[in-house]
Amino acid sequence: MKNNKTKLIKLLAALAGVVSATTATAQLEMGGWQTHFSYRNINQLVQTPEKIYAESNGNIFSVDKSYNSIETYSKITGLSDGNITKIAYDENKDLMVICYSNLKIDIIKNGVIYKFTEIADKEMSSKTLNNVSFGKKYVYLSMGFGIVTINTQKMEIADTYIIGDKGSYISVLQTQETADSIFALTDGKIYSADINDKNLANYQHWTVDIAPEKKLTSMAYFNGKLNLLGNNWYVKEGNNWRTPEPEITNISSAHVSGNYLTLTSKSKNTVAIINKDYKIDTLMGGAVNDAVYDAKSRHLWKASDSLRYISRESGRVDNAFLPDGPSSNTVVFMKMDAGNILSGVGQAYGEKATLQIFDTDQWSQISYDDIIKDNADVQFKAIWDACYDPKDPRRLYVGTWFNIFEFYDNQFVKQYTRDNTPFTGGASTQVEKLLKDKDGYLWALNTNAGELFHCMDPAGEWHTITSSSVYKLFRASDFIITKKNNLKVMTAYWISSQGRPCVHIMQSGSKPYSIANQKTFTSFNISDGSTVSPSHIYCVAEDNNGELWVGTDVGPIVMKNLANVFNSNYTANRIKLTRSDDASLADYLLATEQINSIAVDGANRKWIGTYSSGAYLLSSDGQKTIHHFTKDNSPLTTNSITSIAIEPNSGMVYISTPDGMFSFKSDAAEGKKTLDDVHVYPNPIRPNYYGDITITGLMEDTEVRITDMQGHVVSHGKSNGSVYTWNGYLADGRHASTGIYYVFQATQDGENSNVAKFAIIKK
């Protein structure tokens, strides 16, 4: 059997000392990652002597019992994966188990993470994990096919017990050791065997008994007695089962800690603390998903929308804990606008909507429940898009399938409905895309109705733009207004009248809402003479040269020379990459990938988010792959990328996935207008630092030379937008020695120059 172990740094205890999701962007070093997960709706709790650990939406955090401090955990802090399904703690061995949806297993003991992948790697049926429990020697994994044991002394998988009839697979709901026996609970049956039996893998060594009822889900060994839990609660007395009084029903979880058994009934909103005499010591009500009792502090910790503890001394909630984060990991859209990340939750027709706002430091939200308190008739449901007013970023617009909502300082101001707009359709307006341009026109795409394009001018008057080729558009996937040519560019999944996805481009006439030219592309003539007709078109982005990069199900299509885009002979481009096995042949870039998102950074490089192969950072021309981030080589927990957005000033790249949002500190940001605010960090570079030295605040394509005090050039090159990095190593492989270093900067035309300095301390 195999296992891998990762030694945590000296200052870490098991699962401690973490880069929190709320760490400020400026503190993240170049190439560093952060997670931005939702921790609402906590499902599971376990407690150690020092901390309470909580699982929520497949992620975990902890609260220190003494200091009330919160820490979050992820692949960044050493975990194997995301999508956590089970957490368990053995207080006798001070050992924690973390299980993932893909059946990877982490066991944390004495500051070491032992990683088990055998179950995840093995092809077999009924590969479901039902429960984790502990014995004197083993961790028991109760599986959909039987029992897997892990030896906690050798830290290796020890055996598998297939105990069904004639050695067949059987779903074990929980395994439980007692003083002299081992029990396995299945659907309506209890299997048992002698704990000292050396051949428990043989099904014939197990005895089968009928359970007192069928709807039992778990077991607990408390004060020398075996407990069966589920619809009802049973305690084994000799060869009989009795129901304790008073009756506790619909038990969803149980935790044994010292002389107390804590039972939770999620459906009954009840928690019962049972003492060693099997008497109810305390009975509490209220919404609860799980609960654990700390006898030392006399605190009952409850999991619901947050982690709370109730003091048995006062009988009230004394505190509530929740890491900062979004309200949900699964979002309809994610975009950068006015320096904030906007994302929407609740896309289904009639579903309550929430707009999540991240100002790159803290999360806030606007939810249906917030609005409905003072506006009972407002239907803030089925959210699709949002945008700020560029002239007044305190003003915010949100598009839903019912109306457009206007907010000021996140307070509801007004609705735009079919009664005060030209929108058409059935019971809903179905506004899928919103954008307010620099001239103050609010553009709205009213899909699945009549005319698609509408805009509200700065005076509040609405206008409709006629476009027969996209009349009654069924679904819009993206909408931008280009900076170079002021073109309105819309991409669509599908058009009901034509049955094809498209890119639709409009050029305004004398007024923004008049049309001088428009053209719809359902297929593309490529400059090499070929033609491509994508089955789906998902996104579009304008790069720093004014070129359009279109994301499709056959890779990216690049539309250059947009001044000629309305000509009948216009051709687009697909990027060809020379094959490594035959230089005379070439393949199209990402031709087999579904491109869900494209973002352009300050160095004109392209960030590509794919449906199934992770995120790519490409050179400005797409010929070189600079990074390819997947779940195997990064903190990403899935290869499905839904959106990518970039904060232009910092270069922080935000990556949205079905599992939540991640951010990456890129080495490129939007170029500054002057060299008046150049900074070097860290400064000074201390002996224990070996990361990149970063220069920020540069103009685009600034020439950078770093020299020592004697004038020797140790690094030189061009900035990526406003950023230049140096790894601190000299050409001969040695790290730069202690001293003062100078950063000379100059633009290519020589009109702007500056000098900065920093110190390296190696002793």
Q: According to the model, what pLDDT value does residue 498 have?
A: 53
Confidence of residue 497 (pLDDT cuts 50, 70, 90): low
d(CA 626, CA 502): 30
Confidence of residue 394 (pLDDT cuts 50, 70, 90): very high
pLDDT of residue 714 exceeding 60, the answer is yes
Q: According to the model, what pLDDT value does residue 22 have?
A: 34
Q: According to the model, what pLDDT value does residue 762 have?
A: 84
Q: If you average pLDDT over residues 643-655, what whole number do you get?
A: 96
pLDDT of residue 314 exceeding 80, the answer is no
DSSP code per residue over 422-480: ----SSS--EEEEEE-TTSPEEEEE-SSS--EEEE-TTS-EEEE--GGGTTEEEEEEEE
pLDDT of residue 716 exceeding 70, the answer is yes
Q: According to the model, what pLDDT value does residue 2 have?
A: 47
Q: pLDDT digit string (tens) for 45-96? A: 999 999 999 999 999 999 999 999 999 999 999 999 999 999 999 999 999 9
CB neighbours of residue 585 within 10 Å = 10
Type of residue numbered 355: L
CB neighbours of residue 529 within 10 Å = 7
Q: pLDDT digit string (tens) for 405-455? A: 999 999 999 999 888 999 887 667 789 999 999 999 999 998 888 888 999
Q: According to the model, what pLDDT value does residue 21 have?
A: 34
pLDDT of residue 283 exceeding 80, the answer is yes
Q: pLDDT digit string (tens) for 168-207? A: 999 999 999 999 999 999 999 999 999 999 999 999 999 9
pLDDT of residue 632 exceeding 80, the answer is yes
Type of residue numbered 632: D
d(CA 665, CA 31): 5
* CA proximity to 433, closest of 479, 496, 374: 479
pLDDT of residue 38 exceeding 80, the answer is yes
Percent residues over pLDDT 90 in the chain: 80
Q: According to the model, what pLDDT value does residue 254 have?
A: 97
Q: pLDDT digit string (tens) for 122-170? A: 988 788 999 999 999 999 999 999 999 999 999 999 999 999 999 999 9
pLDDT of residue 25 exceeding 60, the answer is no
Q: If you average pLDDT over residues 527-550, what whole number do you get?
A: 96
Q: According to the model, what pLDDT value does residue 282 have?
A: 87
Taking the CA atoms of residue 583, residue 589, residue 591 and residue 596 in that order, the dihedral angle to the nearest 10 degrees is 170
pLDDT of residue 549 exceeding 80, the answer is yes
Confidence of residue 261 (pLDDT cuts 50, 70, 90): very high
Confidence of residue 493 (pLDDT cuts 50, 70, 90): confident
> Is 732 buried (19+), middle (13-18) or exposed (0-12) by CB count in 10 A?
exposed
* CA proximity to 621, closest of 576, 677, 562: 576
Q: If you average pLDDT over residues 697-703, what whole number do you get?
A: 93
Give the rounded distance of the alpha carbon of 392 from its chain centre. Answer: 30
Confidence of residue 685 (pLDDT cuts 50, 70, 90): very high
Bigger pLDDT: 9 or 2?
2
- Which residues does 508 contact at the CB level (< 8 Å), separation at least 6? 486, 488, 514, 515, 516
Q: If you average pLDDT over residues 226-255, what whole number do you get?
A: 93
d(CA 62, CA 266): 22
Question: What's the chain's average pLDDT?
Answer: 91
Helix extents (H) in 39-149: 118-121
Q: According to the model, what pLDDT value does residue 9 have?
A: 28
Q: According to the model, what pLDDT value does residue 4 have?
A: 47
Helix extents (H) in 358-447: 368-372
Percent residues over pLDDT 70 in the chain: 94
Confidence of residue 11 (pLDDT cuts 50, 70, 90): very low
Q: According to the model, what pLDDT value does residue 6 have?
A: 41
Q: pLDDT digit string (tens) for 736-762? A: 999 999 999 999 888 889 999 999 998
* CA proximity to 52, closest of 34, 36, 67, 65: 65
